[in-house]
């Protein structure tokens, strides 16, 4: 079974944080259209705070993915507030809990991780697909990943399917009317604009999947070189 | 626009620091710098009363901490809910041994963070009751009141709940009075100009010259319609009508009227509005027991005003009359 090591993949979380920080202005701009324009600011603040904490730890690059995700979840939940603090906080904590004690992360473990995060978000937020929230990116991404692995596609191919589905899901929010959260008060006026939460979620999932793919690439090449005499 | 700030990312920290320096006789900062508490909190034997919300609404929320008012307030980023941890820390600071009531506004983030904080408090054995304010008539139709935002009616909810606690009410009594207070409030906002979050740097929406946005939210959430700007007499009358049509109060009912500026509207204009509001309220046979006009619950430098009308019964009227000392006007 293909996989990558949990133990030294903590840097994937730093890469996710970096992508969020890079998109600070963009996320705030789309939030300004149907929200109050602070999504990028708050997300960047939380993710950069988590990155700082991770970099400050004794051997940051040697941190496990599970531990780094737990730190990120914890920082978002305790330091960020808003609605995205708790939602992404429980999502990353859910990811971390599912990976706790897992040495080699293979596709089934990755799928369990995604499911655990999604369950946590839905239990606190209560949104469904079609409500114009981050669930519209997250749920189809998990579905696509699970479908690909069920068809015995390679782990990396399943990660690609996840990225495509997350971004398609994000784009689907343009034509939706918000049913939950602050934008829901706009009714029809929320149509025609991307949902900021779905947009940041797609960024996170892409960065996560790309990070995992890079780890897979490294571990397969190292397996190859080890196999050679 | 020109601003008095240092670093946009530290606007809240800087605000709270200056606030505590100004009002050290009444308030103190918690170990968590995002919690402001009454200087004498917790008061043994009294139900603790807390709230929390985003910053940028000053004097709300922190300005209502004080004697016979709120015991502690969780402070969020500009227009963003405080963390669950800050709500939890506020609850702990307010805990005088008879439970704590958290009176907050109906926003997705606050709902989630308060819910998590209540769970954290339960783990320490602290009982927390909650009331969520939903007085904004334009944010959802009457049959979906549970979806409505909480706006300036929150202040009257805090006042009644905190007064009840100060008079020795049980957790159950305080919660019930606060719930009744907010159930008796209806509010509407009208926006004439946008505001700019310091860290965002540009206005959060646009209002064309000569237009006004009816039903605007406390964070610039778009209203229900954009209209041509009318005279203050017409705007005040229309605001009162919208609120009272939703209320459906019997003639003879006593009410409290609260008009709050949204940050950049001169106080004299609020009085001009009140002139029309007062006339419309009386024209409907209602009796005005108290009127509050000022900047109670703002939205940075938004231009505009909110109107809240609260129906009173004997107890609510008494509770509104309880003497308080807090940094905000009341």
Pick the residue with more confidence: B282 or B330? Answer: B282
A43-47, B12-16, B142-146, B220-224: segment of lowest average pLDDT:
B220-224
CA B95 – CA B89 distance, rounded (Å): 10
Quick one: average pLDDT of B275-299? 98
Q: Which residues of B touch A84 (CB under 8 A)?
A: 109
Q: What is the pLDDT of residue A219?
A: 65
CB within 8 A of A118, min separation 6: which ones?
A: A91, A94, A135, A138, A139, A142
Q: Name the 3-class secondary structure at B94.
A: helix
For B107, name the nearest residue in chain A, comparing CA atoms only: A182
Q: Let me know how long chain B is.
A: 330
- The reported pLDDT for the residue numbered A224 is 41
DSSP per residue, B267-291 = HHHHHHHHHHHHHHHHHTT-EEEEE
In this prediction, residue A185 carries a pLDDT of: 64
- CB distance A12 to A65 below 8 Å: yes
Cα separation values, B205 from A145, B217, B223, B226, Å: 39, 12, 11, 13
pLDDT higher than threshold 50 for residue B283:
yes
B84, A77: Cβ pair inside 8 Å?
Answer: yes
Of B109, B115, B217, the CB nearest to A81: B109
- Residue by residue, DSSP assigns chain A as --EEESTT-THHHHHHHHHHHHTHHHHHHHHHHHS-S-HHHHHHHHHHHHHHHHHHSSSGGGS-HHHHHHHHHHHIIIII-TTHHHHHHHHHHHHHHHHTT-SEEEHHHHHHHHHHHHHHHHHHH---TTSSSTHHHHHHHHHHHHHHHHTT--HHHHHHHHHHHHHHHHHHGGGPPP-SSGGGGGGGGGTTS--HHHHHHHHHHHHHHHHHHHHHHHHHHHHHHHH--
- DSSP H helical segments within B141-170, as ranges? 153-166
Is the CA virtual torsion B137, B138, B141, B146 positive or negative?
negative
What are the DSSP calls for B33-68, one per residue? TTEEEETTPSPTTS-EEEEEEEESSTTTTGGGBSBT
Domain B8-183 indexed as CATH 3.90.1150.10: no
- Please say if B218 is a catalytic residue: no
Through-space distance between the first and last CA atoms of chain A, rounded to whole angstroms: 22
Q: For residue A227, what pLDDT is reported?
A: 38
Question: What DSSP assignment string belongs to B101-139?
Answer: EEEEE--HHHHHHHHHHHHHHHHTT--EEEEEE--BGGG
Look at residue B257 and tell me whether its pLDDT is greater than 60.
Answer: yes
Where are chain B's structural domains?
8-183, 185-319
Is residue B54 over pLDDT 60? yes
Mean pLDDT of B311-319: 98
Q: Return all residues near B52 (Cβ < 8 A) that are at least 6 apart.
A: B61, B73, B74, B75, B76, B81, B82, B86, B87, B90, B102, B104, B110, B113, B114
User: B217 — contact with chain A (CB < 8 Å)?
Assistant: yes
Res B163 pLDDT > 90: yes
Angle, CA of A15, A205 and A220, to the nearest 5°: 70
CB contact under 8 A, B83 and A181: no
Does the active-site annotation cover B219? yes
* pLDDT value of residue B204: 75
pLDDT at residue A181, rounded to an integer: 74
Q: Residue B233 pLDDT > 90, yes or no?
A: yes
- In this model, does residue B107 exceed pLDDT 50? yes
Q: d(Cα B161, Cα B182) in Å, to the nearest integer?
A: 10
Identify all chain A residues contacting B197, using CB atoms and an 8 Å cutoff: 36-38, 41
For residue A81, the chain B residues in CB contact (below 8 A) are 76-77, 80-84, 86, 109, 113
Is the omega angle on the peptide bond into residue B61 within 30 degrees of 0, that is, cis? Answer: yes
B89 touches chain A (CB under 8 A): no
Q: Residues of A with CB below 8 A from B80's CB? A: 38, 42, 81-82
Q: Of all helices (H) and strands (E), which one includes residue B31?
A: none
Give, in order, the Cα–Cα distances in Å from A28 to each of A42, B168, B199: 9, 46, 10
Low-confidence ranges of chain A (pLDDT < 50): 221-229
Task: Provide the pLDDT for residue A228.
Answer: 39
Do the beta carbons of residue B73 and residue B35 sit within 8 Å?
yes
A219 Cβ contact list (under 8 Å, min separation 6): A2, A3, A4, A5
- 8-state DSSP, B81: P
Q: In this predicted model, which residue has the larger pLDDT, B181 or A223?
A: B181
pLDDT at A31: 86
Q: Is the pLDDT confidence value at B234 over 80?
A: yes
B67 - beta bridge partners? B325
Alpha-carbon distance values, B182 to B70, B131, B164, B293 (Å): 16, 9, 14, 19
Provide CB contacts within 8 A for B111, sequence distance 6+. B132
**Residues A3-214, CATH architecture:** Alpha Horseshoe (1.25)
Provide the pairing of β-strand B287-294 with B225-228. unpaired
Q: Supply the pLDDT for residue A153.
A: 96
Q: B315 exposed, middle or buried (CB, 10 Å; 0-12, 13-18, 19+)?
A: middle
CA distance A32 to chain B (A): 6
Question: May I ask the CATH class of domain B185-319?
Answer: alpha beta
Residue A220 confidence (pLDDT): 52
Catalytic residue among B23, B57, B88, B218: B57
- Contact yes or no for B112 and A28 at CB 8 A: no
């Amino acid at each position: 079974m293909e996989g990558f090591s949990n133990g030294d993949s903590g840097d994937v979380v730093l890469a996710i944080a970096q992508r969020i920080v890079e998109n600070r202005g963009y996320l705030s701009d789309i939030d300004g259209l149907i929200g109050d324009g602070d999504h990028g600011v708050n997300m960047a603040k939380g993710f950069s705070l988590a990155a700082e904490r991770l970099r400050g730890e004794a051997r940051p690059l040697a941190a496990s993915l599970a531990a780094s995700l737990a730190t990120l979840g914890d920082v978002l939940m305790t330091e960020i507030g808003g609605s995205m603090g708790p939602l992404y906080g429980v999502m990353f904590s859910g990811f971390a809990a599912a990976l706790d004690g897992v040495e080699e992360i293979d596709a089934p473990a990755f799928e369990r991780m995604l499911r655990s995060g999604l369950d946590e978000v839905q239990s606190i937020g209560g949104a469904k697909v079609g409500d114009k929230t981050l669930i519209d990116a997250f749920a189809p991404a998990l579905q696509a990943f699970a479908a690909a692995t069920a068809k015995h596609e390679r782990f990396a191919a399943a990660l690609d399917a996840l990225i495509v589905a997350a971004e398609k899901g994000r784009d689907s929010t343009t034509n939706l009317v918000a049913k939950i959260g602050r934008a829901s008060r706009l009714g029809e006026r929320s149509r025609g604009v991307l949902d900021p939460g779905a947009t940041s979620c797609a960024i996170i999932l892409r960065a996560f999947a790309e990070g995992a793919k890079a780890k897979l690439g490294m571990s397969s090449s190292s397996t190859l070189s080890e196999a050679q005499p | 626009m020109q601003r008095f700030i240092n670093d946009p990312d530290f606007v809240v920290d800087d605000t709270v620091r200056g606030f505590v320096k100004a009002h050290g006789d009444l308030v103190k900062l918690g170990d968590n710098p995002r919690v402001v508490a009454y200087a004498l909190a917790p008061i043994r034997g009294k139900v603790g009363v807390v709230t929390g919300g985003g910053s940028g609404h000053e004097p709300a929320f922190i300005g209502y901490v004080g004697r016979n008012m709120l015991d502690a307030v969780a402070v969020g980023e500009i227009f963003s809910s405080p963390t669950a941890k800050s709500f939890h820390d506020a609850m702990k600071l307010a805990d005088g041994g008879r439970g704590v009531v958290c009176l907050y506004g109906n926003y997705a983030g606050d709902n989630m963070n308060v819910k998590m904080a209540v769970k954290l408090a339960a783990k320490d054995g602290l009982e927390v009751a909650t009331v969520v304010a939903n007085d904004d008539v334009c944010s959802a139709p009457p049959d979906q009141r549970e979806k409505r935002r909480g706006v300036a009616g929150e202040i009257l909810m805090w006042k009644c709940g905190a007064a009840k606690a100060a008079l020795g009410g049980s957790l159950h009594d305080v919660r019930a009075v606060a719930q009744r207070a907010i159930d008796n409030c209806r509010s509407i906002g009208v926006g004439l100009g946008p505001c700019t979050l310091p860290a965002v740097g540009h206005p959060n929406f646009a209002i064309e010259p000569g237009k006004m946005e009816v039903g605007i939210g406390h964070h610039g959430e778009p209203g229900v319609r954009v209209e041509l700007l009318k005279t203050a007499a017409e705007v005040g009358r229309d605001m009162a009508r919208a609120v009272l049509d939703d209320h459906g109060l019997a003639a003879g009912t006593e009410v409290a009227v609260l008009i709050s500026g949204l940050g950049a509207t001169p106080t004299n204009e609020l009085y001009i509005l009140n002139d029309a509001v007062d006339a419309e309220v009386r024209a409907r046979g209602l009796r005005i027991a108290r009127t509050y006009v000022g900047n109670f619950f703002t939205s940075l430098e938004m231009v505009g005003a909110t109107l809240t009308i609260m129906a009173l019964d004997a107890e609510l009227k008494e509770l509104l009359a309880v003497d308080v000392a807090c940094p905000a006007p009341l």
